Amino acid sequence: MSRFFSSKYEKLIPYTPGEQPTEKKYIKLNTNESPFPPSQKAQEYVKNAAKSLNLYPDPECRALNKKMAEILMVDEDQILMTNGSDEILNFAFMAFCDKNHKAAFPDITYGFYSVFAQLNNIAYEEIPLKDDFTIDINDYLGINKTIFIANPNAPTAIALKPQEIEKILATNPDNVVVIDEAYVDFGAKSCVGLINKYDNLLVTQTFSKSRSMAGARLGFGVASKAIIQDLNTVKYSTNPYNINKMTMAAGLGTLEDEEYTINNCKTVIENREYTKKELLKLGFELTDSSTNFVFAKHSDIDGKQLYLDLKKKGILVRHFDGERISQYNRITIGTRVEMEILINTLKQILEEKR
């Protein structure tokens, strides 16, 4: 770092994104992207939006908000669109955490939570998952902290039920509870329906996974009108035009083609179940996935070594070095052909080890 870098960030460890290699063509099963392109309508809307890039985008995202409100059956002022769900998560740390409102989240979860806490100089507690990688909701009851829970969790893929989350909400009435639903469309149940019952609930989602828009960067939050007002205060104090015209157009086109998204999710779930079945046949251990990925380990091969072996053979998966999960790899669910290639490659690797 330079001698000009602020000392307040000298201990900051930035988030490490998944590999996006350009040196060769890989089967990319490492960053939980959709294997399907954006809907045709989204692509058409983007082309049209490109014609007016000389003008600023609508900072209120009115057309996009209106359509999302219709789909979620909430009011338009209960939604805030953001530059990916990472932006609204950061807004939540900025708006609802301080020296009197510390943050809390699982010790094994989305890696950006700890980065956002450090970036915003927020004290935080990492609450250990149980041995089976599930969240013990009793650890979050009445803790009087701003709580962040990815549901389903990542990288473990395990989901809580809304009634379990309700207990956390009810016992922390004076603190915001953020439920990060990046993967909710692949088998879990959303908590959006609870926002009018609990004024301390903020639900975040993304267009990156189920809606095939990882490259466009679009996310959103749903909450009480008061919470959205708070988040808008942060937004308009940082970047009022946080979503560009082409992304906004792609988002609207995607929402107007919900059947495409629903069918893609069904296909991913079918491919996930196929992959789980085949991995179990090969002797892998898996967590119970409600996401577009599986979390797997094998007793006959080190997790890091398996990641490296797959990479040599042209398949990228995600490996984490954390002590409790170092034997696991997170494998994104792709097309059926991609998953068949993965299974056949794993058979070869395991044969070579014997």
Which among 205, 314, 207 has a CA at the least distance from the CA of 250? 207
Residues 319-334 as b or e (16 or more Cβ within 10 Å = b): bbeeeebebbbbbbbb
Q: What residues in the chain have per-residue pLDDT under 70?
A: none
Rg (CA), the chain: 21
Q: What is the pLDDT of residue 354?
A: 77
Q: What is the pLDDT of residue 59?
A: 97
How many Cα atoms are found within 13 Å in the side-chain-facing hemisphere of 269?
A: 14
Q: What is the pLDDT of residue 283?
A: 97
Q: What is the pLDDT of residue 100?
A: 94
Q: What is the pLDDT of residue 37?
A: 97
Q: Which residues contact 318 (CB under 8 A, 6 or more apart)?
A: 18, 30, 31, 155, 307, 329, 330, 331, 332
